[in-house]
């Protein structure tokens, strides 16, 4: 079975502050984990993925994610949020299923 959970419907953060969007996973075997971002009225864009190797994965637009096997988590992070980061973020174990999404709102 492959599933992920995004426990927060919305995350609010001030511009310049660090941001975290949470994702926990439940997968059998080796986890393949992805983060995507969706801007209004657009399709999803791939941000980063974890397949194997380093637990800290770097992706597009300054985002990174930390794979934590003991906590079964794959949280998305950015050291300094921008207003333009405001969007809908999805965690996914593969292309077949997606988390429920977390809306990130960055306030100026």
Partner 1 sequence: ETGVTQTPRHLVMGMTNKKSLKCEQHLGHNAMYWYKQSAKKPLELMFVYNFKEQTENNSVPSRFSPECPNSSHLFLHLHTLQPEDSALYLCASSPSWDTEAFFGQGTRLTVV
Binding site for partner 1 (CB under 8 A): 32, 34, 36, 41-46, 49, 88, 90, 94-98, 100-101
What does the alpha-carbon distance between residue 19 and residue 17 come to, in Å, rounded to a whole number? 6
**Minimum CB separation from partner 1 for residue 13, in Å?**
21
Q: Is 29 exposed, middle or buried (0-12, 13-18, 19+ CB in 10 A)?
A: exposed
Using the minimum distance from each CB to partner 1, give the nearer residue, 71 or 105.
Answer: 105
**Minimum CB separation from partner 1 for residue 78, in Å?**
19
Instruction: Calculate the dihedral angle through the C-alpha atoms of 14, 75, 45, 16, rounding to the nearest 10 degrees.
Output: 20
Closest CA to 19 of 108, 99, 88, 105: 105
Supply the DSSP symbol for 75: E
Using the minimum distance from each CB to partner 1, give the nearer residue, 77 or 94.
Answer: 94
Using the minimum distance from each CB to partner 1, give the nearer residue, 75 or 103.
Answer: 103
Using the minimum distance from each CB to partner 1, give the nearer residue, 82 or 88.
Answer: 88
**Minimum CB separation from partner 1 for residue 96, in Å?**
6
**Minimum CB separation from partner 1 for residue 20, in Å?**
20
């Amino acid at each position: 079975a492959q599933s992920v959970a995004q426990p927060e419907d919305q995350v609010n953060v001030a511009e310049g502050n660090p941001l975290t969007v949470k994702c926990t996973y439940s997968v059998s075997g080796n986890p393949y984990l992805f983060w995507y971002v969706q801007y209004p009225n657009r399709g999803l864009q791939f941000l980063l993925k974890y397949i194997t190797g380093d637990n800290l994965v770097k992706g597009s637009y300054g985002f990174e994610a930390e794979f934590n096997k003991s906590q079964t988590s794959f949280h998305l992070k950015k050291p300094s949020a921008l207003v333009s980061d405001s969007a809908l973020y999805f965690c996914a174990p593969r292309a077949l299923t997606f988390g429920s999404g977390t809306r990130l709102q960055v306030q100026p």
